Chain A
Amino acid sequence: MTRATATWAIGFVVALALPLVLSTFFIVLLIEIAVVALFATAFNLLMGFGGMVSFGHAAYFALGAYAASLLAQKAGWPMLAALAAAPVVAAFGALIFGFFIVRLTHTYFAMLSLAFGQIVYTIIFKWTSLTGGDNGLLNVWPPAFLRSHTAYYYFTLLVIGACFLALYAVVTSPFGYALKAIRENPRRARFIGVNVRRHQLYAFVLSGFFSGVAGGIFAFHNGSVFPDFAFFAKSFEPLVVVLLGGVQSFYGPLAGAFGFKLLEWVISKWAPIYWPLFLGAIVIAVILVLPQGFVGLLERRTWRPRPSIGK
């Protein structure tokens, strides 16, 4: 374990030093990578560890983003308080939806999650008096001491770093192992006394909670939130990130986030029209050729046929 800890310590120090060498644009990019990494890791808690693929996860990101913005702007809460409340709102949404969604499996799970995601999107879009509808909420800025991109970068590093530690703790806890057991063989897990439904629901809520954190952080970074944050096409992004980086690994989504954001930046520069095409092609390529994603590629030299994720 110590080698890993040392690696991460070094990585952290490097991350701290980066603003000294990078231009503002790249600092902004790093903030966005961190947000995507957290969102994808939260998503992977369900997908990689729990074996449940949600097609409407953008809803929880959006709930977090909107909760943070509304509390800060309309209720006048200080930013930190609003940010603390955001994941709670998202988790609450996850609790309500999750209660229904975990009763289903696979295809129907995915479809119901998509439906709920679209419901959240439509509510945000239509409830103009509260959410500003299509205009979104504008002028959602952090307090003066966090206004500069560099300052916000350090803040993001702190918060998201803490979230990663928390998620790591969850994943390596008995709860995490129970989740994996459920993913591999739900019937067997039930046999050995694991309450499958309840574990899945907890996983869903936790996933929603951390997605909400990502949303909240992004809201203050972007200065504005839009209903699009909840649209089903946005739910595809954590999926791509996770596939890219590696479903089976905890750090996969982090690596995937770097790859994803960099790809997005490069392609948007040279040929923005092709971005969705690349996205789709990458996903298909990963599914067909590289089931373990990028991290998996480095990990194994030999590919063994994977057992299917859950039944």
Chain B
Amino acid sequence: MDLITSLFPWITNGPLIAVQVMSGLSVGMFLFLVSVGMSLIFGVTRIVNLAHGSFYMVSAYLMVTLVEWLPEGATGFWISLVLAPIGVAILGGVIEVTLLRRIYHRDPMMQLILTFGLILIIGTLVLLVWGPDNKSVSRPDALAGSVRIFGQPFPSYYLLVLGLAPVVAVGLWLVFYRTRWGMLVRAATVDREMLGALGVDVSTLYTEVFVFGSWLAGLGGALAAPTVAVALGMDADVLINAFVVVVIGGLGSFAGTLISALLVGELQSFGILIFPAVSIVLLFAIMAVVLIVRPWGLLGRPEE
């Protein structure tokens, strides 16, 4: 017992652990938003959209610009939060219609490579439009401070994220399980051809799914913007993390992505306390293990 407390002096500090857990949850939420979009797109179109991190980044940058243009204060912030993901959704739609439609019938490798190419293009465009230096978005004053959780200070902004999370999760569940569109989407993940044979316009459905997925990534980026440095390279960072989440949780599985995102968020949070040097390797090692033992993820479906 003494050994444990000397190695991990914080382990008896209940309030601190609670705060760390909540912190990890909010990190997990950003990841969830990005990853669920990627997972959704894969589930329906069978394309792993590597440019998903780029969508996240574009949304964060859009937040920077929108917050600057709009009048200062909370209203401006909320409007930006709504508009930025829409902007990214439009971008996603354009990309799907002009590029991705042409390659659905092609080798999945070519599709993967094409979306990888998009990362480079979008990255350069962001650089050209916004310049090379780092940007930041301020939190609205109401959320700039902290509250006390079990006596420990906890940033209010993260409370917002944690509060939005169940709303988003429930919202997504409602969309997929209680709307006709959601039913079509679920059907498409099971059998596209049959759906087409039944007269559904699969091609438009694909576009809609892609736009929705991009919007989710955009929401993640917009929400995260006030908490991180908005910089070039954030696309690679979030992509790698989203990748890990989606692989562990299972491509195409909503619940899997949620669990895995929270898991990864917590791991990152505690990883620094427990295994500071190897927390990054740990993440990839876990991903590798999952891929070896259960390649379709914890809750995913095996490849046809």
**Residues 284-298 of A contacting B (Cβ, < 8 Å):** 284, 287-288, 291
Q: Pick from B117, B123, B240, B292 the residue with the most CB of A within 10 Å.
A: B117
> How many chain B residues touch the partner (CB < 8 A)?
42
Interface: B197 (CB within 8 A)? no
Interface: A111 (CB within 8 A)? yes
From residue A195, how far is it (CB to closest CB) to chain B in Å? 20
Contact of A126 among B107, B251, B281, B287 (CB under 8 A): B281
Q: B114 contacts which chain A residues (CB < 8 A)?
A: 283-284, 287-288
Contact of A53 among B102, B112, B278 (CB under 8 A): B112
Contact of A106 among B108, B119, B292 (CB under 8 A): B108
The answer to whether B116 touches A309, judged by C-beta atoms less than 8 angstroms apart, is: no
The answer to whether B117 touches A279, judged by C-beta atoms less than 8 angstroms apart, is: yes
CA distance A110 to B295 in the complex (A): 12
Contact count band on A: 35 or more
Q: A284 contacts which chain B residues (CB < 8 A)?
A: 99, 114, 117-118, 121
Interface: B128 (CB within 8 A)? yes
Q: Which residue of B lies closest to A117 (CB)?
A: B284
**Residues 96-111 of B contacting A (Cβ, < 8 Å):** 99, 102-103, 106-110
CA distance A280 to B120 in the complex (A): 5
Given contacts A105-B303, A236-B116, A308-B107, contact A122 B124 (CB under 8 A): no
Q: Which residue of B lies closest to A275 (CB)?
A: B124
Q: B110 contacts which chain A residues (CB < 8 A)?
A: 287, 291
Interface: B48 (CB within 8 A)? yes
Given contacts A279-B120, A281-B117, A287-B114, contact A111 B243 (CB under 8 A): yes
Give 1 or 0 for each of B275-297: 1 = CB within 8 Å of chain A CB: 00110110011011001100110
The answer to whether B292 touches A100, judged by C-beta atoms less than 8 angstroms apart, is: yes
Q: Pick from B118, B285, B295 the residue with the most CB of A within 10 Å.
A: B295
Give 1 or 0 for each of A100-139: 1 = CB within 8 Å of chain B CB: 1001111110111011101100110010000000000000
Interface: A243 (CB within 8 A)? yes
Q: B108 contacts which chain A residues (CB < 8 A)?
A: 106-107
The answer to whether A280 touches B109, judged by C-beta atoms less than 8 angstroms apart, is: no
The answer to whether A118 touches B117, judged by C-beta atoms less than 8 angstroms apart, is: no
From residue B113, how far is it (CB to closest CB) to chain A in Å? 6
Interface: A83 (CB within 8 A)? no
Q: A100 contacts which chain B residues (CB < 8 A)?
A: 288, 291-292
Interface: B224 (CB within 8 A)? no
From residue B165, how far is it (CB to closest CB) to chain A in Å? 26
Q: Which residue of A lies closest to B99 (CB)?
A: A284
CA distance A281 to B127 in the complex (A): 16
Give 1 or 0 for each of A32-65: 1 = CB within 8 Å of chain B CB: 0000000000000000000001010000000000
Interface: A277 (CB within 8 A)? yes
The answer to whether A119 touches B117, judged by C-beta atoms less than 8 angstroms apart, is: no
Q: A273-B128, A281-B121, A288-B102 are in contact. List 13 more A-B contacts (CB 8 A).
A: A100-B291, A106-B108, A106-B303, A115-B243, A119-B281, A119-B288, A126-B277, A232-B236, A276-B120, A279-B117, A279-B120, A283-B117, A310-B107
Residues of chain B touching chain A, judged by Cβ–Cβ distance below 8 Å, are: 48, 99, 102-103, 106-110, 112-114, 116-121, 123-125, 127-128, 236, 240, 243-244, 247, 251, 277-278, 280-281, 284-285, 287-288, 291-292, 295-296, 303
Q: List 25 A-B contacts (CB under 8 A).
A: A55-B116, A106-B303, A107-B108, A107-B303, A110-B109, A111-B243, A111-B291, A112-B291, A115-B284, A119-B281, A119-B284, A126-B281, A232-B236, A273-B124, A276-B123, A277-B124, A277-B125, A280-B116, A280-B120, A284-B99, A287-B106, A287-B113, A287-B114, A288-B99, A308-B107
